[in-house]
């Protein structure tokens, strides 16, 4: 594990539609000074307001993580936050000229490919690890979900996802510094269930979704008419269902890719605690809401201990 702070060696440019808003954005991820952390800058707004990537700035967790400060909002930040965390980036400026981060291929792959080609810049300043003084656990009694952050000498994470799905089954994923984030976690794409798609469209939640940036799980029986509707929504007349229970828009990187993607999200959301955690993270049925609540609870605990 890196002991010094690192930033990017140069700026990287990304562009595309946001998954939920459908707005087209240009994003520039740039080096930042030591001890800067990660901040989003809305370059399309007057005075270019900044939003610190911290849990207290989370303002919405419906299907993604949104942070905001006054009029400035940044939607679906979890994949770029996960990429920076998994690659070991302490400090970065993220300029965004619209409301939502581009979804790209639904994973962190394009960030990883761009940044790893050049490597990182060692800033010669010790990394400020966050030591967890006591266990922090957040539970959702309604869903049975929980996230636990326990003191440890280094970082690791384990999670289990269970959607009650005969297609997905129960999936588990693990990360620690011996696991290559780039090839094992970061390339895993977001997913949704076929029966959710029409609802999500009607509620303006996946305006930028298409069959190139999401795994679609076909959990329930569907009619040819329903398949036709989705084919028209995505302008893909060749859509069909595989024998494994997925749309045939893409091939899985791993049998448990959906579980690994939830770990990708968890790592991005928990970076909102403000840095790298010396902690063991365990989670059951995690999601953006409970992930960010855990990060916020940890920040509150640490603040209380410094009073």
- Mean pLDDT score, 95-100: 97
Q: Has 288 been annotated as catalytic?
A: yes
pLDDT bucket at 202, cuts 50 / 70 / 90: low
Provide the token pair at 26: 């240009």
Q: Which domains does the chain have, with CATH numbers?
A: 4-132+259-305 (3.30.230.20)
Output the pLDDT for position 208: 59
Residue 225 pLDDT > 90: no
- Mean pLDDT score, 46-65: 96
Output the pLDDT for position 198: 67
pLDDT bucket at 210, cuts 50 / 70 / 90: low
Output the pLDDT for position 195: 82
Residue 111: C-alpha distances to residues 46, 51, 81, 119, 209 (Å) = 28, 20, 10, 12, 19
Cα 39 from Cα 11, distance rounded (Å): 14
DSSP per residue over 52-97, as a string? E--GGGEEE-SSS-EEEETTEEEE--HHHHHHHHHHT--BEEEEES
Output the pLDDT for position 131: 94
Residue 83 pLDDT > 70: yes
For residue range 226-267, list pLDDT tens digits in order. Answer: 888 778 777 778 888 888 999 887 889 999 999 999 999 999
- Mean pLDDT score, 172-190: 97
Q: What is the pTM of this model?
A: 0.94
Pairing status of strand 170-175 against strand 120-126:
unpaired
């Amino acid at each position: 594990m890196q002991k010094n702070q690192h930033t990017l060696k140069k700026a990287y440019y990304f562009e595309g539609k946001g998954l939920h808003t459908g707005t087209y954005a240009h994003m520039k991820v740039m080096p930042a000074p030591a001890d800067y952390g990660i901040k989003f800058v809305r370059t399309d707004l007057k005075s270019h307001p900044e939003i610190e990537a911290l849990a207290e700035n989370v303002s919405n967790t419906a299907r993604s993580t949104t942070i905001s400060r006054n009029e400035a909002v940044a939607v679906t930040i979890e994949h770029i936050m996960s990429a920076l965390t998994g690659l070991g980036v302490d400090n970065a400026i993220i300029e965004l000229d619209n409301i939502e981060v581009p979804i790209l291929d639904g994973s962190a792959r394009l960030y990883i490919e761009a940044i790893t080609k050049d490597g990182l810049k060692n800033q010669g300043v010790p990394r400020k690890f966050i030591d967890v003084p006591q266990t922090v656990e957040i539970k959702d009694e309604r869903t049975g979900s929980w996230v636990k952050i326990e003191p440890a000498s280094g970082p690791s994470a384990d999670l289990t996802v269970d959607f009650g799905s005969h297609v997905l089954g129960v999936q588990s994923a693990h990360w620690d510094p011996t696991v290559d984030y780039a090839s094992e976690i970061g390339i895993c794409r977001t997913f949704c269930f076929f029966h959710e798609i029409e609802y999500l469209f009607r509620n303006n939640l996946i305006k930028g979704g298409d069959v190139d940036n999401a795994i679609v799980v076909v959990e329930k029986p569907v009619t040819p008419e329903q398949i036709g509707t989705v084919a028209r929504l995505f302008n893909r007349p060749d859509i069909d269902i595989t024998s494994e229970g997925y749309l045939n828009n893409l091939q899985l990187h791993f049998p448990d890719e959906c579980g690994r993607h939830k770990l990708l999200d968890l790592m991005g959301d928990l970076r909102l605690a403000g840095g790298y955690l010396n902690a063991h993270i365990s989670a059951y049925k995690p999601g953006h809401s409970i992930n960010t609540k855990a990060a916020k609870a940890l920040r509150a605990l640490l603040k209380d201990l410094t009073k």
